[in-house]
Chain A
Amino acid sequence: GQQVMQIPQYQHVQEGEDFTTYCNSSTTLSNIQWYKQRPGGHPVFLIQLVKSGEVKKQKRLTFQFGEAKKNSSLHITATQTTDVGTYFCAGRWAGGTSYGKLTFGQGTILTVHP
């Protein structure tokens, strides 16, 4: 089936360092979403990207969607301890008359050392 590969699986950073997680699909996505799950919590929506080459920013977070709509990235500038958690991408493929669904990547667990 269609999968979204997300790397790295784990990332440990010192507070103030930058962080990036990547998602890749072997086939073109119709849209991709990003979620954050704090330890012990549930996933919370961050953003959705739809257009080829799209770049969106939310304060210290920058989200990109590749030109071919097969990859995406989330970059956090100057991490803070509040950024700790697991970051998931979730991709959707458009396919004829099939009803789409979101398939989640494995997630990147971010640890921030103060």
Chain B
Amino acid sequence: KAGVTQTPRYLIKTRGQQVTLSCSPISGHRSVSWYQQTPGQGLQFLFEYFSETQRNKGNFPGRFSGRQFSNSRSEMNVSTLELGDSALYLCASSPLGGGLGELFFGEGSRLTVL
């Protein structure tokens, strides 16, 4: 069974630009969560989607948004990038969602904002 796939793996943007990250969950998993990982803040929850509906959202500004498609693939978008958005963005899929079961993480998308 293929794991969680995130693209792109690495990207460099400049302040003010926007970025879209993609996540393909494990087949059959309907829940996709996104986390931001930085050395100082650890793993911060961004949002979770389950069957195309946003079920939960973390404390991030509205510049961070996401969506989930009918095939469970998910994208997150960050608009008007700031230097502080530089981080590893991790996607995790789960069959149950809601923090009830194991999260399967992808390798992450490492974003550098210059």
A interface residues (Cβ-Cβ under 8 A, vs B): 1, 30-31, 33, 35, 41-45, 48, 88, 90, 92, 99-107
Contacts and interface: CB of A to CB of B under 8 A. Distances in A.
Contacts of A104: 35, 42-45
Nearest to B98: A100
Contacts of B61: none
B75 interface: no
Contacts of B97: 99
Nearest to B4: A42
Contact of A43 (B48, B90, B98, B99): B90
B64 interface: no
Contact of B45 (A31, A35, A43, A101): A101
A42 B93 CA distance: 13
Shortest beta-carbon contacts, A-B, top 7: A92-B99, A104-B43, A102-B99, A100-B99, A42-B105, A45-B102, A100-B98
